[in-house]
Amino acid sequence: MLKLEHTTESYSGKPGCMCGCNGKYNAGTRARKLAITAMLKNEDARLNDFEYVDSEGVAGCVFFETATRNRVLYLTADGVAAAREIFKEEER
């Protein structure tokens, strides 16, 4: 089960560059809860395991893309393990 403590932040924005110019990163509790719900409801959501943990504790993400929106939920190592049981992994 994917829990709030398995997440670090979410991103929602227009397709394209994800530097923040087309959307917003948000580490707030509400934004992460909404992102979990969105990921669980979207059958196209995929897991991307980064295969390392960065300095902020991020080990991967769950994401989906539509014609108008990119939605990403960044995960801790425990979050990647939990998400692996729920989501299909992105093909490499």
Q: Where are the domains of the chain?
A: 4-66
89 DSSP β-pair partners: 47
pTM for this predicted structure: 0.94
Q: What are phi and psi of 80, to 5 degrees?
A: -60, -45
48 DSSP β-pair partners: 61
Three-state SS for 70?
strand
Q: Is the pLDDT of residue 92 over 90?
A: no
Task: Please give the Cα distance from 78 to 81 (Å, whole number).
Answer: 5
How does pLDDT run across 49-62, given as a tens digit for each residue? 999 999 999 999 99
Sign for the CA dihedral angle at 88, 33, 61, 78 comes to: negative
The confidence score (pLDDT) of residue 34 equals 97
